[in-house]
Amino acid sequence: MFEQFAFQLLLYLAVTFVVLLGIAFLSIIVLYLIDITQSKHTIRRNYPVIGRFRYWFEHLGEFFRQYFFAMDREELPFNRAERSWVYRAAKDVDRTIAFGSTRNLEMPGTIIFMNSAFPTLEEDATPVQPLRIGPHCPHPYDAKSIFNISGMSYGALSAPAVLALSKGAAKAGCWMNTGEGGLSSYHLEGGADLVFQIGTAKYGVRNENGSIDIEKLKSIAAHDQVKMFEIKMSQGAKPGKGGLLPAEKVSEEISKIRSIPIHTASISPNGHPEIKSPSDLLDMIQLVRETTGKPVGFKAVLGELNWIQRLFEEIKHRGIESAPDFITLDSADGGTGAAPQPLMDYVGLTVRESLPWLVDELRQRDLKDRIKVIVSGKMITPSKVAWALSMGADFVVSARGFMFSLGCIQALQCNKNTCPTGITTHNKTLQKGLVPQEKSERVANYHKYIEYGVCLIAHSCGVKEPRGLERQHVRIVNGDGQSQPVNSVISN
């Protein structure tokens, strides 16, 4: 009996193998005929079937470089050392290292903090105090945290990701920017303080013609969780280009929130049709502020600088109350979403150059206390946040840092609806691995250890709290490997 069963099993396996072999052989023949007769791809025409492996290897190259070939400090946009620190902070595990830094401390441009001979003792340290934004508004915002979540839209991010970020922000006591995609139930459900972003397409507060709908704006402002409004002029991923949301990401729910057609690519205008000058921008800020009663500012990547100077001159002419309550300065190397490579690679200034310039301009015009400076752009570790504060920023916001805290592996699939960690996809199968309740804890942990790390640097420099950091605490390495005060580099 057993021998008969064994014979039948072997016969079945043999037949199955022959069938599969036949299918594989026929498939190869079909692919060979397709490749040898097509005329679009040279490699496939010259090397039928085998040439197809080129595309597969090219795709896998991103992942092999990340895990096997790239050194700890050489990978872009974020290297392994940076990502590893975020992962460990988010998981609340040991963040210390041993046997010396892998960072090249003599490379030109390297930032070094100047430790004090008399560091701040624990009993002398003071906690970060809330900072008021919008003192002339009926409903000003006392922001508790120096580190907050930057703009990422529901649509660009999945529902579980938005919910996890909102829950995590509520636990951490920081704000969360909605991004230009409108206000969703997932933003509200988490209970976080929210900054509502008004993009060039006015998603969430738009009329049929694309202009601001005052009644919708009032409806958004009626939510107590919405603390501020941010008018997005430009962003780091694509300065001079509006937001891009692929058609496959525009679900029925997203189309309703944004008031756009379902399954149709959502492409925002390059700029606001009603804002064509600094004066127009102040008019828009005043309209939103009077309608909502809440602080209003704008977000921009700096490139051409004269317009900012004209803006400040117009504020002086109109009066201090006309000023934006904050400016969010984005870096040209920022960006989480889909963007044209020429813009991402070549357009706009990075915050290393634009932040000191903006702060100096504000100080020279006695506007620094009135207009708070929020800065973003690859600031995912305590050292980067501390640098921004020492340059004069009041707050730092991060998008990709919080994405890493959710489990992002830098697969570079954000624009393809195929994110393997469920963060930037609407594929339900891929989303199931992202459990909001679990990931919200990691978001809160990451935030906690960012602020803890910034305090470590501040106390080492001899100041009592992070906003006590100034430019005198920072030096920068020049071309010969020697450091010099950062102010001398900026002034040059």
CATH number for the domain including 456? 3.20.20.70
Structure tokens at 465: 């709290």
- Tens digit of pLDDT at every position of the chain (492 positions): 667 767 677 878 888 888 888 899 899 999 899 988 887 766 677 778 887 876 666 656 655 555 555 555 555 677 778 888 888 899 988 787 777 777 778 888 889 999 999 999 988 899 999 999 999 999 999 999 999 999 999 888 899 999 999 999 999 999 999 999 899 999 999 999 999 999 988 999 988 888 899 999 999 999 999 999 999 998 766 665 666 777 777 888 888 888 788 877 777 778 888 999 999 999 999 999 999 999 999 999 998 899 999 999 999 999 999 999 999 999 887 665 566 676 666 677 888 999 999 999 999 999 999 999 999 988 999 999 999 999 999 999 999 999 989 988 787 777 777 788 888 888 888 888 888 999 999 999 999 999 999 999 999 999 999 999 999 999 999 888 888 888 876 655
Is residue 369 a contact partner of residue 132, using CB atoms and an 8 Å limit? Answer: no
Assign residue 422 a region (left: φ > 0; alpha: ψ between -120 and 50; beta: otherwise).
left
CA dist 282 to 286, 314, 324, 357, 449, Å?
6, 9, 7, 21, 37
Angle ∠(179,184,190) on CA atoms, nearest 5: 95
Which residue range forms the structural domain that includes residue 25?
2-69
Is residue 118 a contact partner of residue 462, using CB atoms and an 8 Å limit? Answer: yes
Residue 127 shares a structural domain with residue 53: no
Structure tokens at 422: 């469920």
CA dist 57 to 54, 60, 61, 64, 234, Å?
5, 5, 6, 10, 36
Q: Answer whether residue 113 is part of any domain.
A: no
Q: Cβ–Cβ contacts within 10 Å for residue 479, how many? A: 7
- The pLDDT of residue 185 is 93
Q: Answer whether residue 109 is part of any domain.
A: no
Residue 319 shares a structural domain with residue 380: yes
Q: Answer whether residue 80 is part of any domain.
A: no
- The pLDDT of residue 336 is 58
Q: How many CA atoms lie within 13 A of 50 on its CB side?
A: 2
Residue 42 shares a structural domain with residue 175: no
The span from the first CA to the last CA of the chain, in angstroms, equals: 92
Is residue 405 a contact partner of residue 88, using CB atoms and an 8 Å limit? Answer: no
- The pLDDT of residue 241 is 62
Q: Which of 51, 69, 87 is the last residue of a domain?
A: 69
Is residue 461 a contact partner of residue 473, using CB atoms and an 8 Å limit? Answer: yes
Q: What is the pTM of this model?
A: 0.84
Cα 315 to Cα 310: distance, rounded to the nearest angstrom: 9
Q: Answer whether residue 136 is part of any domain.
A: yes
- Paired with 395 in beta bridges are 374
- The pLDDT of residue 237 is 61
Q: Answer whether residue 107 is part of any domain.
A: no
**Which segments within 199-260 are labelled E, that is strand?**
226-232, 244-245
Residue recorded with tokens 């400090």: 73
Q: Which amino acid is at 101?
A: S
- The pLDDT of residue 117 is 94
Structure tokens at 232: 């997005």
Q: Answer whether residue 105 is part of any domain.
A: no
Q: Answer whether residue 97 is part of any domain.
A: no
Instruction: Indicate the length of the chain as a whole number.
Output: 492
- The pLDDT of residue 95 is 80
Residue 12 shares a structural domain with residue 128: no
Q: Answer whether residue 289 is part of any domain.
A: yes
Q: Which amino acid is at 84?
A: S
Q: Which amino acid is at 191?
A: G
- Paired with 300 in beta bridges are 329
Residue 252 shares a structural domain with residue 385: yes
Is residue 337 a contact partner of residue 415, using CB atoms and an 8 Å limit? Answer: yes
Domains contained in the chain, number: 2
Residue 47 shares a structural domain with residue 130: no
The DSSP secondary structure of 223-237, one letter per residue, reads STTEEEEEEES--TT
